[in-house]
Amino acid sequence: MDDATVLAYELTWPEYDRRMRDGRTPLIVPIGALEQHGHHMPMHVDVLLPNEFAQRVARRTGALVAQPFTYGYKSHPKSGGGNHLPGTTSLDGATLVNALKDVIKEFARHGVRNIALMNGHFENSWFIIEGVDIALRELRWDGVRDVKIVVLSYWDFVNDETIEKLYPEGFTGWDLEHGGVLETSLMLVLFPHLVWMDKAIGHPPASFPPYDVYPVRPEWVPASGTLSSPKNATREKGEILLQVCTDGIVRALNEEFADPPN
């Protein structure tokens, strides 16, 4: 059973040790969030999608997948609807940074030398980088200098050609795609039983001023919680996205992890 899984946490500890201690097996860490995704999808979309991409990439690269981070940094009104919406359950930035730092250092202690952080929640981005920076600094203090970390978000692998296919009427940008066509289409392919298109609410893309106000102003955010309409999402678009993103991530990790650790 151990050899049949790409999930590191399903292995026994001796098998995990055998596969990881020489540093040659990459480890992929999905990093998500618990955040509302409108009336038509569940709140753990940002965990499901990076975890699924991680597993698909692992099967093609020889990597293993670590247990996901299931909570992330606070939802922002302009990219996730906002932390004020019910169900969204978030971490302070320092909490995420320290948790990620600790986990990276633990993996390094196990022998892991190539780590990919698979982000599925836009607002995590800078806190992931901070956690990586501090972890690598503290590892250097301990004399560990051969850990390499790749940080990526799966949507960044969607190329212009694919955007034209998916958004023939125009693309409003990734910041307004929260609960929109991209996430909904992927969910229709991967987890169709968790998508209720009859409850999807269509509306124009959200419009925000070029500044932020705190405390946040909930009236800026569409009442649905989504920032653009998911109505044009389809399984066919999800299949295109799944292939383009998976292929792109595989190419990136094969290139970055081609050489064994020094």
Task: Return the active site residues.
Answer: 35, 37, 46, 121, 123, 178, 183
SS (H, E, C) the chain: CHHHCCEHHHCCHHHHHHHHCCCCCCEEEEECCECCCCCCCCCCHHHHHHHHHHHHHHHHHCCEECCCECCCECCCHHHHCCCCCCCCECECHHHHHHHHHHHHHHHHHHCCCEEEEEECCHHHHHHHHHHHHHHHHHHHHCCCCCCEEEEEEHHHHCCHHHHHHHCCCCCCCHHHCCCCHHHHHHHHHHCHHHCCHHHCCCCCCCCCCCCCCCCCCHHHCCCCCCCCCCCCCCHHHHHHHHHHHHHHHHHHHHHHCCCCCC
